[in-house]
């Protein structure tokens, strides 16, 4: 077992590079694994041979090969029990990895995190189509566009509840398919998605009204939608929303904030940082969002003492408020905010 745990015996699929010299000896029994086109090989015990044959593992010993530890795909060292969570954030991935995941994790994988991964493509995504227990999926900053095919694959996960497609390009066709097929979504994160316009938000609002399950929405850093599209989202299911992030949405004006005047008894978390808000916007927040527990208003230039005191008086359930870099605030407003509580 000590030998198996040594660096020279670690089996892997794709990922980081173990800068080790290649082993050139080939045992007499002929049990060895070749690196595809690279042609390098190393001795392998009889105990390792069935394992490598079963999972089609690759061994890499040069700087050009990037390997991923197998422990990220399996619970145990011997790769007998597939993991229910794969955290591949920041790794370089390839088809071998997803082929193994597709063959062994179809009935186990519940969480897949691919944020900032390198080399991820829709062809790799196709290898995990239809996973029955996948509930959490993050594709943020993978560089993969949400195309027609990718949207169909997303719709093949019947239990998907949390989806993050931040920085992934979308269009009205693919986004409509996503909204209509991912019926169990509770959380959707679409930060700075190119192509996310008013038509996409209207499709999202229609599905929110239809399925009535989506509770957390993050549309921050949006550049292509306007007040019209955002109003349809806020007006779709105002009593179901629990978390809303609209920070740094520079195209939105005070018109979009008027929707917050409606009673939103379930809204607990609201992020409106780096937005151009006028004084009336803060009044509207205190009218409809009285159950807030977290309120983030960083870099709101027009937030002054009167607005802060009003928030402290009306939003009595606040547990956290962030108002850094609000230049109009003074000690008077902060002290009276706590006095209002």
Mean pLDDT of 250-277: 92
- Give the pLDDT confidence of 167-181 residue by residue, as tens digits: 999 999 999 999 999
pLDDT score for 339: 78
- Give the pLDDT confidence of 121-158 residue by residue, as tens digits: 999 999 999 999 999 999 999 999 999 999 999 999 99
pLDDT score for 286: 93
Q: Is the pLDDT of residue 13 over 90?
A: no
Q: How confident is the model at residue 341 (pLDDT cuts 50, 70, 90)?
A: low
Q: Is the pLDDT of residue 338 over 60?
A: yes
Mean pLDDT of the chain: 82
pLDDT score for 6: 42
Q: How confident is the model at residue 340 (pLDDT cuts 50, 70, 90)?
A: low
Domains and CATH numbers, the chain: 1-77 (no CATH), 78-340 (3.80.10.10)
* CA neighbours closer than 13 Å in the CB half-sphere of residue 218: 17
Question: Are the beta carbons of 166 and 141 closer than 8 angstroms?
Answer: yes
Q: What angle do CA 84, 33, 77 make, to 5 degrees?
A: 30
pLDDT score for 67: 55
- Give the pLDDT confidence of 179-225 residue by residue, as tens digits: 999 999 999 999 999 999 999 999 999 999 999 999 999 999 998 99
- 269, 188, 206, 197: which is closest to 226 by C-alpha? 197
Q: Please state, as a whole number, how many other Cβ atoms lie within 10 Å of the Cβ of residue 236.
A: 22
Q: What percent of the chain has pLDDT over 90?
A: 62
pLDDT score for 270: 97
pLDDT score for 91: 87
pTM reported for the whole predicted model: 0.79
- Give the pLDDT confidence of 31-76 residue by residue, as tens digits: 333 333 444 444 555 554 454 444 444 444 443 455 566 567 787 7
pLDDT score for 53: 47
Question: Are the beta carbons of 109 and 101 closer than 8 angstroms?
Answer: yes
């Amino acid at each position: 077992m000590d030998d198996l745990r040594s660096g020279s015996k670690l089996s892997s699929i794709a990922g980081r590079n173990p800068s080790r010299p290649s082993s050139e000896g080939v045992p007499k029994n002929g049990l060895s694994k070749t690196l595809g086109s690279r042609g390098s090989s190393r001795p392998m015990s009889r105990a390792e041979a069935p394992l490598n044959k079963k999972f089609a593992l690759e061994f890499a010993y040069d700087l050009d090969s990037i390997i991923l530890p197998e422990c990220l795909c399996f619970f145990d060292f011997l790769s007998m029990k597939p993991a229910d969570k794969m955290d591949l954030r920041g790794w370089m991935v390839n088809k071998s990895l997803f082929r193994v995941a597709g063959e062994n994790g179809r009935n186990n994988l519940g969480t897949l995190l691919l944020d900032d991964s390198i080399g991820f493509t829709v062809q790799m995504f196709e290898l995990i189509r239809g996973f029955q227990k996948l509930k959490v999926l993050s594709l943020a900053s993978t560089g993969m566009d949400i195309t027609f095919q990718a949207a169909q694959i997303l719709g093949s996960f019947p239990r998907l509840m949390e989806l993050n497609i931040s920085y992934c390009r979308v269009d009205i066709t693919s986004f409509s398919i996503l909204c209509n097929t991912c019926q169990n979504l509770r959380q959707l994160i679409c930060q700075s998605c190119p192509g996310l316009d008013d038509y996409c938000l209207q499709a999202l609002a229609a599905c929110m009204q239809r399925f009535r399950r989506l509770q957390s929405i993050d549309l921050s850093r949006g550049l292509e939608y306007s007040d019209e599209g955002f109003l349809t989202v806020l007006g779709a299911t105002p009593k179901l929303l629990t978390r809303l992030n609209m920070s740094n949405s520079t195209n939105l004006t005070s018109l979009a904030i008027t929707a917050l005047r409606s009673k939103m008894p379930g809204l607990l978390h609201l992020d409106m940082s780096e937005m151009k808000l006028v004084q009336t916007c803060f009044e509207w927040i205190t009218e409809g969002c009285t159950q807030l527990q977290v309120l983030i208003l960083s870099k709101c230039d027009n937030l002054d003492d009167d607005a802060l005191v009003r928030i402290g008086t009306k939003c009595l359930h606040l547990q956290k408020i962030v108002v850094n870099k609000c230049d109009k605030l003074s000690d008077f407003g902060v002290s009276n905010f706590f006095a209002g509580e």
